[in-house]
Chains A and B, each alone.
Chain A
Amino acid sequence: MKYSTFLIKYAEIAIKGKNRYVFEDALMHRMKLALKQAEGDFAVSKAQGRVYVDCNSEYDYDEVIAALSRVFGINAICPVVKVEYEDFDKLSADVVDYVREEYPDSTATFKVFARRANKAFPVHSTEMNSELGGAILDACPGMRVDVHNPEIELNVEVRESIFIYSKQIKGPGGMPVGTNGKAMLLLSGGIDSPVAGYMVAKRGVKIDAVYFHAPPYTSERAKQKVIDLAKQVAKYTGTICLHVINFTDIQLAIYEKCPHEELTIIMRRYMMRIAEHIAKENECLGLITGESIGQVASQTMHSLAVTNEVCSLPVLRPLIGFDKQEIIEVSEKIGTFETSILPYEDCCTIFVAKHPVTKPNLKMIKRSEERLADCIDALVKTALDTDEVINVI
């Protein structure tokens, strides 16, 4: 079937009152960017509360659907066959052709749902419904009409041309990226953080990211892995500005001066401090982590409370109630899983105590951190000054 147009359905955007155009424009912007990933010439436009993609050249259907399926804000994609109106008999023939080709030898129930956006059109919609329905019944003996619960809802819309469509491909839902501010994702090489970034972006939030690199304990490949993960997430979120922070000296200082069972928790507190600093410098309104309660020692409720204490920005933890398997399912869906499981060491796993604290006490942790007083400010400053910024597209 040759579709010349895709009709885009969106749900939540439609209820945003006077801001609606902001959301629609953001959606169209995101769609245009996404369609650059597909070969062909496409025009994105809106008319009468609908967004359309017109295909002005040859294109690959699967590629276009895949590109649009990554645009948050899209609820459904309807492939449309466009026909020109000459007279009603020709229109009936076109509709019958559509049904025959789209549903060969079908025994499904259907209903014709005609609309006249162009009121100059001579035939009324109720009349169109019955005439076109009759034509289909004549041509396709297996099919029956069911106006209440049809298996096929055949839309026929009269505009400058006539749009025929009946299929819907589910979109990712959510809201267009960029309509809800920006947040800073703490991105490691693991399974969770890319998923966390995806989930927050789905609600319209633009994403920047920070990665803590610890050479020579972590390799160039580990860093490349994080860039690859950011690339995969960026297919949904648009360009991600990735900050690579050299964390080695801070980690070594903590290792030398603080109790070993508190290493991870103190390390995470410094990561949060640094991430927040970069976030504020870059107009981010919150931090995002892939934490899920109880997954590891540093993610117990006690640990989260102690980690959270260093931040004033809201820390978004979209996976907080997810089990590992649920997180893996999303990561497989968004295509980050394969990369996440590559076996390169990341900075969280280099210096892990055999028995890390699971119920850290804030006072004790603060006291331990005092031991870093003479050096830590300078180390943090150096880390921030040597921030390497990579635009991941």
Chain B
Amino acid sequence: MIYLDNSATTRPFDEVTEYMMHVMKDIYGNPSSMHMAGVEAETEVKNAGKALADILKVDPKEIIFTSGGTESDNLALIGAAMANKRAGMHIITSKTEHPAVAQTMKYLEEQGFRITYLEVDRSGRISPDVLAQALSEETVLVSIMHVNNEIGSINDIRSLADTVKSYRPAALFHTDAVQSFGKMRIHPSKMKIDLMSVSGHKIHGPKGIGFLYANEKAKLRPTVFGGGQQKGMRSGTENVPGIAGIALAAKLIYKDFDSDIERMYSLKTYFVRELLKLQDVSVNGIPEHDPEDISDAVRQSAPHIVSASFSNVRAEVLLHALEAKGIYVSAGSACSTNKPSKSATLLAINLPASLLDSTLRFSFSTFTTQDEINETLTVLSEELPKLRRYSRY
């Protein structure tokens, strides 16, 4: 199997699986219990928080564990909007956000908030100028994703956050970093990020766990109520094995970080270059570039996501044709394939209508090899002409 759907989810590191098994078997106490078993579990949670905080260079008490990226986004947006609505009811976001943000915005809109959806450029990025123009006295929250999950474009979070803070210092800045954490170095305090969502299973950790980084000065209201765990910000007995798992995964993914990322960029550059040699294939999410030298442009996008459009082939059919050869990819993003609706991201970058249903996402991980990329290219070059022969009219 050649697994190129790592933006949907990743294979957990073996170390993570084994460590979680140990935690489940041996450290099953409730972190809130007074006895030794509880203390051991609490230590596990504390160590995990510390490890993640070290990676982000933040304070451990700024890490709130959640059930994953979606819950982190919900907590950040609803929590910040509700806690700060007296200061204003205006929120800014982009047109290419993941449904976890986009749908939450829709909910906040129903609650009376005014939402501005920013346009992106052809490669999927928000310009700080566009953001500056949208800011108003009423703006309390800005949420802009770091790396787009469908096309891999990178937003310059540092200058976007900077823009917010220089025009409207009181507004909170949130970023959905589900696709960037583990692929980029992120230091929220330096980058002026107030709130940041992260998911475990995108970094070779377990599913069902994630966290929200929340700057301790950011006013936030909880969205889950109960026993007051995690200082009341997220009630519910902590998912101890999951928490141990995400922390270990993060440590491992940042261990040989520079060489891993370098390897992924060279794979991506090679893959994109070869894809563009195939007939009628275009690649999305990469900034304008010199056709002779794409490597600089590729390095301005995420190292692990390649979005390619294959004209006159339906994405779903090509996906299943690749699947038959053991190559797993996704059409658009895995989170939205259940709905027949068109991808908001692809619409936002003005992809021609004829390509909306002809776009696949290939996403790499640290496990992806050159051989796998070669094999994928070979299969594509064989299957595309076959499928185009029978294209639907």
Contact = CB atoms under 8 A, between A and B. Distances in A.
Whether chains A and B associate is yes
Interface of A: 215-220, 252, 255-256, 260, 343, 345, 350-354
Contacts of A354: 393
A106 to B, nearest CB: 48
Given A343-B340, A345-B316, A216 B323 contact: yes
A80 to B, nearest CB: 48
Nearest to A216: B320
B353 interface: no
B320 A219 contact: yes
A217 B320 contact: yes
Interface string B296-329: 0000000000000000000011111101100000
A252 B390 CA distance: 7
Contact of B392 (A218, A252, A343, A350): A350
Contact of A217 (B317, B323, B389, B393): B317
B202 to A, nearest CB: 23
Contacts, number: 30
Contacts of B340: 343
Contact of A216 (B321, B389, B392, B393): B321
Contacts of A218: 320
Nearest to B389: A256
Nearest to B320: A216
Contact of B316 (A219, A255, A351): A219
Chain A interface helix/strand/loop/mixed: loop
Contact count band on B: 10 to 19
A215 B324 contact: yes
B279 to A, nearest CB: 19
Contacts of A215: 320, 324
A351 B390 CA distance: 9
Interface in B252-310: none
B324 A255 contact: no
Nearest to B318: A216
Contacts of A352: 392
Contacts of A217: 317, 320
A350 to B, nearest CB: 7
B392 A351 contact: yes
A260 B391 CA distance: 12
A351 B392 CA distance: 6
Nearest to B387: A216
Given A215-B324, A345-B316, 6 more contacts: A216-B317, A216-B324, A217-B317, A220-B320, A351-B390, A353-B393
B390 A255 contact: yes
Contacts of B389: 256
A252 B392 CA distance: 11
A110 B106 CA distance: 59
Contacts of B316: 219, 345
A354 B324 CA distance: 29
Nearest to A352: B392
B110 to A, nearest CB: 26
A250 B323 CA distance: 21
A217 B387 CA distance: 10
A343 B338 CA distance: 8
